[in-house]
């Protein structure tokens, strides 16, 4: 209360965004092959990119990884975020 009475406001330190994992070469190649997917990927926020990269990198089998890369390319080309199903419709 004394700080409020004195007019002092405390600010929380800014959090720096997490660094995105390195992009796998197979994902980069797939995005560059698709029309507009690479440009849309570059337009995504770092958080959206991080979600896709984490989803792909946590795949344990090559078949799963290939399926996830294919799904990522098609969704990114449409401009959809990783969890687009749960976003509010405008």
pLDDT of residue 47: 87
Long-range contacts of 62-69 (CB under 8 A, 24+ apart): 65/26, 69/26, 69/27, 69/30
**4 falls in which pLDDT band (50, 70, 90)?**
confident
Could you tell me the pTM of the whole model? Answer: 0.74
Domains of the chain: which residue ranges? 23-81
Q: Read off the pLDDT of residues 9-46 as tens digits, 9 standing for 90 and up.
A: 777 777 777 777 889 999 999 999 988 999 999 999 88
């Amino acid at each position: 209360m004394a700080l409020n009475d004195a007019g002092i406001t405390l600010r929380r330190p800014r959090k720096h965004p997490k660094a995105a994992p390195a992009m796998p070469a197979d994902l980069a190649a797939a995005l560059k092959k698709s029309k507009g997917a690479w440009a849309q990927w570059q337009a995504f926020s770092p958080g959206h990119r991080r979600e896709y990269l984490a989803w792909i990198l946590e795949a344990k089998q090559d078949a799963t990884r290939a399926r996830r890369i294919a799904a990522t390319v098609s969704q990114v080309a449409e401009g959809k975020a990783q969890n687009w199903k749960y976003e509010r419709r405008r």
